[in-house]
Structure 1
Amino acid sequence: MTDGLPALIPGPLAAREAGVAPATIRKWVQLGRLKPAGRAGRAQLFRLEDVFAAERAVRGTARRVR
């Protein structure tokens, strides 16, 4: 049972859901395009909606460059 908070997922799962490589998630964090919402040990955890927002922003930028 959840308390209304969004689920947090690890980077590799977030990458799979967004259709990108895990290294892409790490790069987005380095570049400040995505911020981890928590940690589980050493693993960074993300909100899926944040990952999708970062993915949309990157794709939108790529379209404008062409």
Structure 2
Amino acid sequence: MLVTAAMAAREVSVTPATIRKWVQLGRLAPAGRQGRALLYRLEDVFAAERSARRPGG
């Protein structure tokens, strides 16, 4: 399922800015676009969240 940054942030209890930061850091890659909005796969968002929560992550 593809979701916007705002929806992705809500799913993992972070801010949309955190989602954008993960993209900048290469932890998360957009899977598509809807107009100007980037879309993300939920499974990728969950994986990025797990990696960010690891010590040193």
What TM bracket, shorter-length normalisation?
over 0.9
- TM-score, length-scaled by structure 2: 0.93
Q: 1:41 is matched with which residue: 35, 38, 41?
A: 35
CA distance in 2, matches of 1:51, 1:18: 8
Q: Secondary structure at the match of 1:20?
A: coil
Q: 1:8 is matched with which residue: 2, 5, 16?
A: 2
Deviations 1:7-61 (A, max 9, x none): 101000000001100000000001111000000011000011100000000101x
Q: 2:52 is matched with which residue: 41, 58, 66?
A: 58
CA distance in 2, matches of 1:18, 1:49: 11
Among the aligned pairs, what percent are the same residue?
Answer: 68
Q: Secondary structure at the match of 1:14?
A: helix
- TM-score, length-scaled by structure 1: 0.81
The size of the alignment, in residue pairs, is: 56
Point out which structure has higher relative CO (alpha carbons under 8 A, 6+ apart). 2
Q: Which of 1 and 2 has greater Rg?
A: 1
CA distance in 2, matches of 1:8, 1:27: 19
Q: Secondary structure at the match of 2:27?
A: coil
**Hey, which bits of structure 1, 4+ residues long, moved more than 3 A?**
none
Question: 5+ residue gaps in structure 2?
Answer: none
